[in-house]
Structure 1
């Protein structure tokens, strides 16, 4: 009798839990899901979103659209997600400048750490400095030397991105100056670098991999701890004399604060499974020279907190101002 009663109680508890889940998720998903990318099309963040979209659509059974809403260091698109209804139909897929918005955007209209539910850090990739092959720089030292006697420009994927900040750190160590040209997206920066309109650019290995492999850009320096397999002849910053200097781009996914946990967990699982598909994983890791992370939400929250502290300090030390 006792055993039967215990089973009945457990069954009742399970039924109640299932009812709560159904109440929270309803028939989710039952309509189009949008992934907001807070940058223009053509960059690595946009590409990361579009890589996952078909797998998400297959797993969740609803259309997935990628919506580019660029501007103000990514805060325009981020604000859309922060203010969206937390029903699982609006998500943010963003880039490393996410952690710098409190420094770069005056009167930020949302709380960076309280306004979002972290889902997963997709991956990371070292930054790479590259130039058009007909530029006179064979090494990064050549560029620094040239900057002492004439104006040199470098492009980045945006003001306050980690790429921009690490360039400022190197320039300060070398005691030289260069003109910074921030672009609204990685795609625009790459186009101008390939065309020679900017002397060199810094972007993630994932962004620059196609141009480096095709020979339309020449890599000068990589900012990972070790040389990438795809860049065996390109020195790291440490090898070039910048002791203990590394810089990695990263991509993460967030929802508006308050997404029901069952919805968030289901979306997270579908997202991670999509990136782990062999074809997608190969594209991300081998073709794009990036590393998949795919941790949980709390791990992403802790990571972002460290990024805010580390790079926020660099931005303030270098007096980086909003665009």
Structure 2
């Protein structure tokens, strides 16, 4: 018959083994699932050919080669990014449907739409990729050659200015100019940056304040007259064009922030796994070259830093929107 000491040692050993099994099970439950385990859909909230679409495809190509799973860009434009964002907000939080777009769904739209199909918490930023300014340009038929000429003309008469849609950065900028520079710009929304640029190119509108890469080829061809950029620093692609700050219009500085978002209830461990993969892809020389070609400044923010970036922008734009009375029905 076993002694008391022997039985006690045996019992403690069993309890220790059970504890190890429990700890292993708990650790396993906290381990994020393998990602990706199937094709990943990048839902781009703006039309094909725009900056966010180009970024999504560049990163998707890198990740597809790395993981051996398809990374598919699915363009779902509409309602200033709300259509694509809502699709992702209602998707399974498993990392296989992510939103690519710009900050407006969380920094402008909540202030101008009476209601949104999703709550702010239904999406959370995965990576804030980069930011860029806009280029203010007009059709040559306006006879305007400089920003000073434009400012005088826009204060004396109404001028039609295109944007990529209601709630887009160009829409906000029109309102900023009307209140901050006493201009009389009339906002004309289009379905994305590309058709908005085409409207300036054809003379359908007097001008626009739009993403620089879409405007620049027509600027170089002499078909659009560049007046200023809205970034704090001059554009690398058009260094001869002054900033609005240099022209004494610092209140008209504006930027577009490009980001990736995931459904709001995506597990944190999975968020970290995906953020690491995407930021490593963004760091690749070929992707960094694409970012530079798009006249963007790389940021690469994740976690709390990404959320804080959006919160500060939302507070800033909210004050402007309340002052202008900018609304979308």
Q: Please report the TM-score for the alignment, with normalisation by the length of structure 2.
A: 0.86
Instruction: Give 1:307's aligned residue.
Output: 313
Q: 5+ residue gaps in structure 2?
A: 1-12
Instruction: Give 2:302's aligned residue.
Output: 296
Residue aligned with 1:293, SS: strand
Please tell me whether Structure 1 or Structure 2 has the larger radius of gyration of its CA atoms.
2
* 2:112 maps to 1:104: yes
Which of residues 151, 161, 166 in structure 1 aligns to 2:173? 166
How far apart, CA to CA, are the structure 2 residues paired with 1:50 and 1:44? 10
Q: 5+ residue gaps in structure 1?
A: none
The answer to whether the Cα contact below 8 Å between 2:126 and 2:261 also exists between their aligned partners in 1 is yes
Tell me the C-alpha RMSD between the 2 structures. Answer: 2.6
1:140 deviation in Å?
2.1
* 2:33 maps to 1:19: no
**What is the 5 A alignment of 1:200-211?**
200-211=207-218
The answer to whether the Cα contact below 8 Å between 2:129 and 2:260 also exists between their aligned partners in 1 is yes
1:149 deviation in Å?
4.4
Q: CA 1:214–1:299 in 2, change beyond 3 Å: closer, same or farther?
A: farther
Q: CA 1:303–1:122 in 2, change beyond 3 Å: closer, same or farther?
A: same
* 2:225 maps to 1:218: yes
**What is the 5 A alignment of 1:217-296?**
217-243=224-250, 245-285=252-292, 287-296=293-302
Which of residues 123, 128, 133 in structure 2 aligns to 1:121? 128
* 2:90 maps to 1:90: no
1:15 deviation in Å?
5.2
Q: Please report the TM-score for the alignment, with normalisation by the length of structure 1.
A: 0.87
How far apart, CA to CA, are the structure 2 residues paired with 1:295 and 1:214? 36
Residue aligned with 2:256, SS: strand
Q: CA 1:21–1:214 in 2, change beyond 3 Å: closer, same or farther?
A: farther
Q: Give the number of aligned pairs.
A: 313
Instruction: Give 1:145's aligned residue.
Output: 152
The answer to whether the Cα contact below 8 Å between 1:120 and 1:294 also exists between their aligned partners in 2 is yes
- Find runs of 4+ consecutive structure 1 residues off by over 6 angstroms: 11-14
Q: CA 1:221–1:271 in 2, change beyond 3 Å: closer, same or farther?
A: same
How far apart, CA to CA, are the structure 2 residues paired with 1:51 and 1:184? 23
1:296 deviation in Å?
1.2
